[in-house]
Amino acid sequence: MNNPIAYTKPSITELEIRYVTEAVTNGWGASCYEYIERLEHQFSSYLGVNYAVATSSCTGALHLGLAAAGIGPGDEVIIADSNWIASVAPVVHLGATPVFVDILEDSWCLDPSAVEGAITANTKAIIAVHLYGNLCQMSELKLLADKYNLLLIEDAAEALGSEYHGKKAGSMSDFGVFSFHGTKTMTTGEGGMFVTNNSQLYEKVLTLSNHGRKRGQQKQFWPDELGFKYKMSNIQAALGCAQLERINEIIKRKRDILHQYKKTLAHYSEITLNPEPTGTVNSAWMPTAVFSAESGITREKLQQAFTAENIDARVFFWPLSHLPMFAQPNESSVSWSICNRAINLPSYFDMTEADIQRVVSVIERTMLG
Ligand SMILES: *Cc1c(COP(=O)(O)O)cnc(C)c1O
């Protein structure tokens, strides 16, 4: 059997080890928030936003943001059908109703005209998820949010460092959320971030994230309201500080790997990889190959071929409307079609050129039948 090729894996250097060791050795008592505050400052300035709150996960950050914005029973929240469950679970937990809309064939993200068609008197928010590093059409979504007075939210968990006309993903809406799970572009093991330019949302999220204890509350053990417990630890934040110092290097490697796949597969007109429209930067979290419907290449064929080569390639997200807890079949949609003929390709920092070539040969062999 060939050596295994993982689909993602963090890049850990002496810097990460030094910061984590420092935090676990000294980051207690009066110093127990130092790396957390440092990470929040570093992250907000990287992104170009006013406020950032470190959290225990992206799911937690989204839950906090939606709760702070007052999303609840009777409210409808529009989201693309092709998504990981984390982007929708908090909507359901708050008692609101998710409304799934189709994606565009080229970006694999929200179709703005489908969004407009799904807006009702009960619609309160649009969650724009930037899938696999690709960007949603933010100008169009912003127009809709303004026109119908809706909250616009970005789940930028998969697009840290992607840019839309000079603005970073996650910084273009009422609030943005990020994930630092071990599979993501930068990691803290588990972890996330909430970002916003809105001071009221920021204060509210800060309070909710800490069991409802307001900043500056002098009374001990005194929650001002019922909140959540979604804080990041100082040790995780230390790892995050090191990763964020290296973010340009990490993203450059991600982009190089995607470019390499694009270059070597360019002559197959049946294959499309993550797009990068003019005026945007795709930070290439997850290189993904989508095969044309005519190619006859299926998810099952691809999985079989990659498994035989000991390569961990992952399937494209199942439509949320396909999952048992939602079960709203929509078989004619792009979301239902694309997941049958697509595959995520490995793309970790320390991958070698030979590894990339092995992945490419599996695709080439599959194309030859
Ligand atoms: C990974 C991911 C999440 C969940 O992140 P956690 O930190 O595991 O909660 C949410 N949204 C998207 C788009 C993701 O890719």
Chain segment 134-189, per-residue pLDDT in tens: 999 999 999 999 999 999 999 999 999 999 999 999 999 999 999 999 999 999 99
> Which amino acid belongs to residue 116?
E
For residue range 220-258, what is the model confidence (pLDDT) as tens digits?
999 999 999 999 999 999 999 999 999 999 999 999 999
Structure confidence at residue 106 (pLDDT):
96
Domain-terminating residue out of 245, 266, 285: 245
Domain-terminating residue out of 219, 245, 271: 245
Q: What is the mean pLDDT of the chain?
A: 97
Structure confidence at residue 35 (pLDDT):
98
Q: What is the CATH number of the domain that holds 69?
A: 3.40.640.10
Residue-number span of the structural domain to which 41 is assigned: 14-245
Q: How many domains does the chain have?
A: 2
Structure confidence at residue 118 (pLDDT):
98
SS3 call for 342: strand
> Taking residues 97-123, what's their average pLDDT?
98
Instruction: Check pocket membership of 129 for ligand 1, CB cut-off 6 A.
Output: yes
Greatest Cα pair distance in the chain: 70
The answer to whether residue 4 is domain-embedded is: no
Report whether 349 contacts 7 (CB < 8 A). no
Instruction: Check pocket membership of 179 for ligand 1, CB cut-off 6 A.
Output: yes
* Residues 208 and 304 placed together within one structural domain of the fold: no
228 — alpha (psi -120 to 50), left (phi > 0) or beta? beta
Length of the chain: 369
Strand partners, 177: 155, 194
* Residues 174 and 256 placed together within one structural domain of the fold: no
* Residues 26 and 59 placed together within one structural domain of the fold: yes
The answer on pLDDT for 18 being more than 70 is: yes
For residue range 51-94, what is the model confidence (pLDDT) as tens digits?
999 999 999 999 999 999 999 999 999 999 999 999 999 999 99
Q: What is the CATH number of the domain that holds 264?
A: 3.90.1150.10
Pair of tokens at residue 68: 């702070």
Residue linked to tokens 């928030």? 33
Instruction: Check pocket membership of 114 for ligand 1, CB cut-off 6 A.
Output: no
Ligand 1 nearest-atom number relative to CA 130:
13
> Taking residues 281-307, what's their average pLDDT?
97
Ligand 1 nearest-atom number relative to CA 179:
7
How remote is the CA of residue 132 from the centroid of ligand 1, in Å?
11
How remote is the CA of residue 198 from the centroid of ligand 1, in Å?
23
Structure confidence at residue 1 (pLDDT):
67
Domain-terminating residue out of 197, 222, 245: 245
For residue range 192-229, what is the model confidence (pLDDT) as tens digits?
999 999 999 999 999 999 999 998 899 999 999 999 99
* Residues 239 and 256 placed together within one structural domain of the fold: no
Ligand 1 nearest-atom number relative to CA 191:
7
* Residues 256 and 231 placed together within one structural domain of the fold: no
Angle subtended by helix axes 247-265 and 234-245, to nearest 10: 60
> Taking residues 327-331, what's their average pLDDT?
93
The answer to whether residue 343 is domain-embedded is: yes
Long-range CB pairs of 292-297 (<8 Å, 24+ gap) are: 292/341, 293/337, 293/341, 294/270, 295/270, 295/271, 295/341, 295/367, 297/270, 297/341, 297/366, 297/367
Ligand 1 nearest-atom number relative to CA 180:
7
For residue range 334-353, what is the model confidence (pLDDT) as tens digits?
999 999 999 999 999 999 99
Structure confidence at residue 2 (pLDDT):
83
The answer on pLDDT for 332 being more than 70 is: yes
Instruction: Check pocket membership of 155 for ligand 1, CB cut-off 6 A.
Output: yes
Flag whether the pTM goes above 0.95: yes
